[in-house]
Structure 1
Amino acid sequence: MPTQLGSGGFLGTRLSEAREAMGLSVVNLANLLGVSRTLVHEYENGSRSPGVSTLARIFVVLDQPESFFYQEQRVQDFSHELVHFRARNSLKDDLREQAGIRLKWLAELYAVLEEKLALPSVNLPVLDVPADVSRITQQDIEDAATAVRTLWKVGQGPIPDLIRLIELNGGVVGQINLDLPDMDGLSFWSEERRRPYLLLNADKASYVRSRFDAGHELGHMLLHRHVNEGRTRKTPLYELMENQAHRFAGALLLPRETWLADVKAPTLAEFKRLKPKWKASIAAMVMRAEAVGLIGSEQKKDLFKQLRRKKWQQQEPFDSLWELEQPRLVTQATTMLFDSGFDSLSFSQWFPRRTEHTVELTRMPRAYFEIGTLPIKNIYSNFN
C-alpha cells in the first residue's frame, strides 16, 4: 500500500485505514464530515489535505489519535489484494477491509516490537511447490506438512499447541473478536519483512476448529505465498487454494502414517475416540480420511450426513471442554517493552491507535495504554 502524502504531512492512506477499520464507505465518511465524496477521495489519494476544521472532525468521527494520521507506514507492502481470507460465505468489501486493516495493524505493531526487542526469527521450510496453483498435488501438500514437522522437530505425533509453535518459529498470530461469524481467519505474507502474519477470529468457540484455522492460514503462507490473484473472491482459483490450505491443515495435524495407524475403522465413533488425542475435529478427520484414500467420496458424504443428524456441525463432542489456544508472543513482547522502561505515552508515540484497537491487538489490560496510568505489574512470563 503506497503512502499517499498530502500537504502538511497528512497521510491519505491512514485516513483510508481509519475509515475501513470502522466499516465506513467513502460516502458514509463524506456524510459524517459534511464534505463531498470527491473531497474524501482526494484526501485519501493525497492530492488534497483536509483543512483545520475538517481535520478536527476527522479526529472525532474516526476516533483515532491525531498522530495516527501523520505516522509513516511501517509495513509498506500490505494491500487487501495480498490477504488470504477464509470465509464460509462471500463477505462484503467493507467487512473484508475492516478485518484486513486489523491484520495490517498487527503487522505494524510487531514491526514496532521488532525495533526494540530480539524476537524469534522466521523458520519456515523452503518448498519446491509449483507456482501454478492448479499443478499443486496432494503429494506436494503432504510433503509440505512433513517438511514443517521435520524442521520444527515435533515428530509425527499430535501437536500440543499449534499457535505457540507457529509463534516460536517466527509467525505472528493475532486473535481478536471480528464480529464476523462467517470469517474464520486471514493471513498476509510480507515480502518486505519476510514474515507471515495470521489473524484468527476469536468468535470461534471450538478449540479444534481454531487450531485447524491456524494450520489453514499457515498452509496459505507456504503454498500460496507468491500467488497474487484469487485471494479475496469466491472464484475457482479461490476455491482451489482454500481446498489446498484445508488439506495442508489436515496433513499437518493428522500425519498420514501415525494417524492412520491409530484408526481402527473410518466411523464417527472411532473419530470421536481419537479426537482427544489428536485435537482435531471429527469433521477434519472425515476429510483427512478421504485425502489419504481411507474412504471414498460416497462414504465421506454418508459420514457427513451422519454428522448432521447428530447435530455436530456447530459443536462436536468435547468442544466445550477445551479453551482456545492463545497467541502469546505479541502480548509477552509488549509486556517486556513496558518492563524495559516504556510507558503509555512513549508507546502511543510509537504505535498511535485508538486504545480499544491497541488492547485487542496486544491482548493486554487497558491500564497499560491509558496516559497517566502507572503500568501494572507484569502478569505474563517472559517469552521463550
Structure 2
Amino acid sequence: MVSNVTPIFKFNYKKLRFLRKKYGCSLRELADKIDYSTTTISKWEKGQSVPTNEIVAKLATIFDVHENFFWTSDLIPNINGTVFFRKGAVLPKKNKIEAESKIRLFALIDQKVSLDCNLKQYQLYDLVEKNKEFKALRRDDIAKKAVELRQVLNLGTGPIYNMTHVAERMGIRVMFSDLESENIDAITGWINEQPYIILNSRRLSSARIRFNLAHEIGHILLHSKYSQHIINNTQYHKEIEHEANQFAGLFLISDRSLALDMDKTNMKFLIELKKKWGLSLQALIYRGNEIDLISDQQALFLRQTIYRNSWRIHEPLDKVIPIEYPNFYEAAFKYLDIDVKRFITEISIETGLKISDIERILGIESKNNNSNNILRVLK
C-alpha cells in the first residue's frame, strides 16, 4: 500500500541509515540493489545530497515501508539507558544493532499509542537497586527483592499464571519478535526512562520464555542503574547475569514453595512440577540442587536423562503449556473502545510504517504470523 500523503518535509537521511542497519544491509548490498555507488548512498545517509523521488520509492520497496517514512518529521527514538542482551554466545555487532533497532521502532509506536491513549508507564518501584557502581548482591538480598515484587503485585506465593501479564502490569512494554539470531533469547532497552523488552519468537517454549522474561525483570530491578560500561565489563558481566538468573528462579518459585512441593526428585514428578509452576525441567533441577533438595549425583543423572532424550531444546510439555503473548495494547484498545483499524491506519500515515508492521509491534496480529518479508527482499 502506498501512502497518498504528500511529503512536506525534507528527506530524513537518518532514517535511511537506520533501516539499512536494522536489516543488516551493507552499503555494497544496497548499492547493488539500486544500482548506485556506495559513495552516493553514503552521501545520502550523511545528508550531503538527496535521492530522487524515484529512488526514494525504490528504497521504500526494498525496506518495506511507505515512501513518506523518509519524509515525515518523526524521529526514531534513541536508546538512552542501559541495554541488556540475554544471549547464548558472543554476538556480532551487526546482530546487536538489528535487535536494538527493533527496540527503537517499538518505542516509536508505543510513544504515539501511549500518548494518545494515556496508557500506564513504567513505575520506578522503591525496591529497585540504587547502586550505580557494581556491587555483588547476596542471594538472600535477591530473594528478598523477588518476594517484595510479588507482594507489590499481589501475586501471593503460588505459581504465576502469566509472566507477560506481570511485566505489563509493571508498565514494562513487551513484544515478541524474530530476533533472527538463535543466540539471542531477549533484549531489554531503556528509552526515556521506559523499559522495553523484546523476546525472541523463535524460542517458542512457554517455560523458557517465562524464565527469560523474569530474567529481564531481574535486570530492570537489580541492574538498571548501572552504566553500559559496567554491564559490558567482562569482569562483572558473568555475575550480573548470574544475579538475574537467581532472581528469575526465585521469583517464579521461592525456596520455601519449592521445598514444600519437591517431595520426589524423579523425572516423572519433575515433569508434573513443570506443569504446575511453568518452570523448565533444567531450571527445576538447578534450583532443587541449589538448595540441597536434589543431590549432586541425582542432578547429574537427571541432566543425563535430559540429554539422552534430546530434551535440551524441546522438553516435555513445551507444546502443551501455552505461550503467554503480550495483551497490553489489545486490552487497552478494547477498554477504551477504540476503532483499532482506523487508529492504526492513522499511525501508519504519520510514521510511514506498514499497517502489518504496526500490528506486529502492538501484538494484535495473528499469533502465528512470524514471517519476515524484508529478509527475502534484501537477499
Residue in structure 1 matched with residue 189 of structure 2 by the alignment: 188
Distance 1:14 1:292, change over 3 A: farther
Give deviations 1:170-205, integer Å, cap 9, x for gaps.
111111233433321111122x2x221111122222
Relative contact order: is structure 1 or structure 2 higher (C-alpha 8 Å, sep ≥ 6)?
2
Write the deviation string for residues 274-333 of structure 1: whole angstroms up to 9, x where unpaired: 112111111111222344454576765554233212322112222221220110113344
Structure 2 gaps of 5+ residues are 1-8, 367-379
Q: What one-letter code is carried by the residue in structure 2 that aligns with 1:157? A: G
TM, length-normalised to structure 1: 0.81
> What percentage of aligned pairs have identical amino acids?
23
Aligned to 1:306: 305
Q: How many residue pairs are counted as aligned between the two chains?
A: 357
1:72, distance to aligned residue in structure 2 (A): 4.2
- Give me the whole-angstrom Cα distance separating, in 2, the residues matched to 1:308 and 1:341: 48
1:285 equivalenced with 2:284 (yes/no): yes
User: Following the alignment from structure 1 to structure 2, what is the Cα–Cα distance between the partners of residues 82 and 30?
Assistant: 34
Q: Indicate if the aligned counterparts of 2:216 and 2:244 stay in contact, CA closer than 8 A.
A: yes
Amino acid at match of 1:57: K
Q: Does 1:139 align with 2:144?
A: no
CA contact (8 A) 1:158 1:253 kept: yes
Structure 1 residue 257 displacement after superposition: 1.8
Does structure 1 retain, via aligned residues, the 8 Å contact 2:134–2:230? no
CA RMSD of aligned residues (A): 3.1
- TM-score (normalizing by structure 2): 0.82
- For the 8 Å contact 1:74–1:111, the answer to whether it is kept is no
Q: Secondary structure at the match of 1:321?
A: coil
Q: Quick one: distance in 1 between partners of 2:226 and 2:41?
A: 32
Corresponding residue of 2:372:
none
Q: Deviation string for 1:36-88 (max 9, x for gaps)? A: 43443443344544344543432233232122223445664416x94322221
Query: CA offsets per residue over residues 108-159 of structure 1, 9 Å max, x none?
Result: 1110111111322323522235333452332332222122111111112111
Change (3 A) 1:123 1:243: same
Q: Distance in 1 between matches of 2:87 and 2:179?
A: 12
Please list, as runs of the form range in 1=range in 2, the aligned pairs for 1:23-38 lying within 5 A after superposition.
23-38=24-39
Q: Tell me, in whole angstroms, the C-alpha distance in 2 between the residues paired with 1:212 and 1:287.
A: 13
The question of whether the paired residues in 1 share the 8 Å contact of 2:207 and 2:279 is answered with yes
AA matched with 2:66: P
Provide the C-alpha distance between the structure 1 equivalents of 2:211 and 2:325, rounded to a whole number of angstroms.
14
Secondary structure (helix, strand or coil) at the match of 1:84 reads strand
Counterparts of residues 146-185 of structure 1 (less than 5 Å): 146-185=147-186
Shift of 1:97: 2.2
What amino acid maps onto 1:147 in structure 2?
Answer: E
Cα pair distance change 1:232/1:129, threshold 3 Å: closer
Match of 1:118 in 2: 118
CA-CA distance at 1:167 after TM superposition:
0.9
Q: Kindly tell me: are residues 300 and 238 of structure 1, through their superposed partners in 2, closer, same or farther at Cα, counting changes over 3 Å?
A: farther
